[in-house]
Chain A
Amino acid sequence: MSEYKDVWVFSERHDLMLEMLGKGREIADKLQMELGVVLVGFNVQRKADELIRYGADKVYLVDDQALELFQLEAYLSVLHSLATSHKPQVILIGSTRNAKPLAARLATRLDAGCAPDCAKLSVDEQKRLVCERITYGGNAATKIAFRAKPQIVTIPSRAFEKPAPKDRTGQILKLDVKIEAPKTEIVDTKPLETSAVRIEDADVIISCGRGLEKKDDKVLLDELASVLCGQVGCSRPLAEDRKWFTEWVGLSGHKVKPKLYIACGISGVIQHVAGIRDAKVIVAINKDENAPIFELADYGVVGNLYEILPALKEALERQLQ
């Protein structure tokens, strides 16, 4: 009988915490363990009940002014202290730019393994946690199991659906923990200059690639996007080489998970496809009938995007009436 037990979830971002609770609940049930949440911050106690409604059995609450901002050493010392005294078997950590180093350092401090950025998690017949992630620039999916405990996994945002809240009860444990002083000083924080809406949040994305001849032709995509309440994206060359966009969809850019992804004039190199793998339906529109994108799409149309996009917009408007 292992001394490690329970599945824990942590994120400094509340939305990501809720997303992980559904999957965390499923894993905990399969392993016949409890689901714990680590709630860290300042004046965050009010969030505890909601976390229980979303599936947590226990909320480990550390509320301290020193935790108001995310500071690596402070948060790390809290998680390390809790994990050392309560010995969770699995710790799921939301993979943000702040918390991924936290996960790596927690794993190091606990002499443990870490499986980063896993968008698929399951429990196999031997009750082993199996994590899956994309590697080799989108060329491979790697399956990882653990040889040591605790098992630390980082989870990208939008990998899992937020579960439906339920009327349920749980335990809130308010804890005092020694908090390490940060080794770096935050001197300024400002909002990131970016498009107003995050492309990760879009249900419909219409993306263009090198098949788009002029920057102004983007209006064709904008018009279709407005009919579908979608967003416009692009592949890396349009952003990096032509500078027509500031951001792109792909492994090195935004990884998206829309209901519908329409790839216009995008050939379908592996790095781009790795960023859209989780789309529900992929449509490819391309002049070249041999473009690799057609092998990776649900619906393919061979043709000129300059003709097809306006016609598709008109057809959708008519059929959706």
Chain B
Amino acid sequence: MKRIIVCLKQAVDVSQLKVNPTTRQLMTASAPRKISDFDKNALEEAIKIKEKLGDVEIFTLTVTSEDAKAVLREALAMGADKAYVVNDPSFRDVDTLGTAYVLAEAIKKIGEFNLVLCGETSLDSFSGLVGSRLAELLDLPQISSVRKLSFEGDVVAAERVLEDAVETVKAKVPVLVMVTREINQPRIPSLMMIMKASKKEIVTWTAADLGVQMDKLGSKIEIMEVLAPKTERKKIRITGENVQELADKLAKALIQEGVVGRR
């Protein structure tokens, strides 16, 4: 029996995020939440492994300071066997190190595992640090930027996409793998799967349940501001009687800007 732990972040759905145009503040509190896209790919990959190998158990793990039940129900409907959530108000201002620390403590409490799967980065904060930090804290072999994954007995083989190369890497389990979005297309659970999921277990822990040391939750960074970027564009509308005139005016403007030149 193999056990896969998939780390799932409950992220702000950035496509539904609204911005206050006068203050440029993001209205994150009112924005809907969902499973961070990349993490969903990680879960889908775990389910694919289970479909192929059979004897596999999939646990999801979420660290949050908000209610995450709805998001976890979706993960269970997709095919996870059990969902763990560590929910504590003290996690509200943790940085990537604090998050990785709590994930590591939770994984230690869960016990045995063969594979930890994470998304390459998260949809909202887009840091891409937590998976690597977790590998460090658990002292695991780490394979990031993975677009293809397979098991050969106790060895994981993975294809990594780098800037200019594709690298095939092997490591012995237990191992931590971070996946890209191109690895698969996450399934949409059927109604039957959703019904079945309501019977699956969600285990909820608090910081105290894990014996989390509060001094380890202090953020090493300070978020000074989060604002919608200012657009400092000229916004000049080119107008003209006909296409020829529009094109001539635009060409002239681009030459004056010095952004086009002769070969």
Return chain A residues, CB-CB under 8 Å to B259.
Answer: 203-204, 259-260, 280-281
Report the separation of the CA atoms of residues A105 and B226 in the bound assembly, to the nearest whole angstrom.
25
With A140-B26, A311-B244 in contact, is A320–B260 under 8 Å at CB?
yes
- From B57-65, B140-148, B196-204, the one touching the partner chain is B140-148
Return chain B residues, CB-CB under 8 Å to A228.
Answer: 260
The verdict on A7 contacting chain B, using a C-beta distance below 8 Å, is no
The verdict on B41 contacting chain A, using a C-beta distance below 8 Å, is no
Q: Which of B92-142 contact A (CB under 8 A)?
A: 95-97, 100, 123-129, 131-133, 135-137, 140-142
Say which residue of B96, B246, B255 sits within 8 Å of A303 (CB atoms): B246
Q: Which of B179-232 contact A (CB under 8 A)?
A: 181, 218-229, 231
Report the separation of the CA atoms of residues A138 and B123 in the bound assembly, to the nearest whole angstrom.
10
- Nearest residue in A to B248 (C-beta to C-beta)? A315
Report the separation of the CA atoms of residues A142 and B127 in the bound assembly, to the nearest whole angstrom.
11
A267-296 CB contact bits vs B (8 Å, 1 = yes)? 000000000010011110000000000111
Report the separation of the CA atoms of residues A318 and B224 in the bound assembly, to the nearest whole angstrom.
50
The verdict on A145 contacting chain B, using a C-beta distance below 8 Å, is yes
Q: Is the CB of A139 within 8 A of B14?
A: yes
Q: Is the CB of A134 within 8 A of B133?
A: no
Q: Is the CB of A320 within 8 A of B244?
A: no
The verdict on B253 contacting chain A, using a C-beta distance below 8 Å, is yes
Q: Which of A136, A141, A283 has the most CB of B within 10 A?
A: A136
The verdict on A65 contacting chain B, using a C-beta distance below 8 Å, is no
Report the separation of the CA atoms of residues A283 and B12 in the bound assembly, to the nearest whole angstrom.
31
Q: Which of B168, B218, B238 has the most CB of A within 10 A?
A: B238
Report the separation of the CA atoms of residues A108 and B225 in the bound assembly, to the nearest whole angstrom.
24
Q: Which of A183, A315, A316 has the most CB of B within 10 A?
A: A315
Report the separation of the CA atoms of residues A13 and B51 in the bound assembly, to the nearest whole angstrom.
40
The verdict on A192 contacting chain B, using a C-beta distance below 8 Å, is yes
Q: Is the CB of A281 within 8 A of B254?
A: yes
Return chain B residues, CB-CB under 8 Å to A117.
Answer: 126-128
The verdict on B162 contacting chain A, using a C-beta distance below 8 Å, is yes
Return chain A residues, CB-CB under 8 Å to B140.
Answer: 183
| Distance between B237 CB and nearest chain A CB, rounded to angstroms | 5
The verdict on A81 contacting chain B, using a C-beta distance below 8 Å, is no
The verdict on B70 contacting chain A, using a C-beta distance below 8 Å, is no
Say which residue of A194, A299, A316 sits within 8 Å of B260 (CB atoms): A316
The verdict on A114 contacting chain B, using a C-beta distance below 8 Å, is yes
With A144-B224, A145-B222 in contact, is A97–B145 under 8 Å at CB?
yes
Say which residue of A104, A141, A148 sits within 8 Å of B227 (CB atoms): A141
| Distance between B234 CB and nearest chain A CB, rounded to angstroms | 4
Q: Is the CB of A252 within 8 A of B181?
A: yes
Return chain A residues, CB-CB under 8 Å to B53.
Answer: none
Q: Is the CB of A299 within 8 A of B141?
A: no
Q: Is the CB of A301 within 8 A of B142?
A: no
Q: Is the CB of B244 within 8 A of A140?
A: no
The verdict on B55 contacting chain A, using a C-beta distance below 8 Å, is no
Report the separation of the CA atoms of residues A144 and B227 in the bound assembly, to the nearest whole angstrom.
12
Q: Is the CB of A299 within 8 A of B228?
A: no
Say which residue of A116, A184, A316 sits within 8 Å of B143 (CB atoms): A184
Report the separation of the CA atoms of residues A249 and B160 in the bound assembly, to the nearest whole angstrom.
21
Q: Is the CB of A192 within 8 A of B141?
A: no
Q: Is the CB of B162 within 8 A of A299?
A: no
With A147-B219, A320-B260 in contact, is A116–B171 under 8 Å at CB?
no
Q: Is the CB of A312 within 8 A of B251?
A: yes
Q: Is the CB of B250 within 8 A of A113?
A: no
Say which residue of B95, B168, B170, B228 sits within 8 Å of A113 (CB atoms): B95
Report the separation of the CA atoms of residues A145 and B221 in the bound assembly, to the nearest whole angstrom.
6
Q: Is the CB of B166 within 8 A of A184?
A: no
Q: Which of A72, A104, A108, A115 has the most CB of B within 10 A?
A: A104
With A98-B162, A101-B144 in contact, is A146–B246 under 8 Å at CB?
no
Q: Which of B161, B178, B236 has the most CB of A within 10 A?
A: B236
With A228-B260, A307-B243 in contact, is A191–B164 under 8 Å at CB?
yes
The verdict on A56 contacting chain B, using a C-beta distance below 8 Å, is no
Say which residue of A135, A186, A302 sits within 8 Å of B169 (CB atoms): A186
Say which residue of A115, A185, A194, A315 sits within 8 Å of B247 (CB atoms): A315
Report the separation of the CA atoms of residues A96 and B131 in the bound assembly, to the nearest whole angstrom.
16
With A140-B226, A229-B263, A315-B248 in contact, is A183–B141 under 8 Å at CB?
yes
Q: Can you list 8 residue pairs at the A/B interface with Cβ under 8 Å?
A: A103-B129, A114-B96, A184-B142, A185-B169, A299-B254, A301-B246, A316-B251, A316-B254
Beyond the given pairs A299-B250, A300-B235, A301-B250, 10 more chain A to chain B contacts, judged by CB atoms under 8 angstroms and listed by A's residue number, are: A100-B132, A105-B132, A108-B136, A136-B125, A136-B126, A136-B226, A184-B170, A191-B165, A229-B263, A283-B250
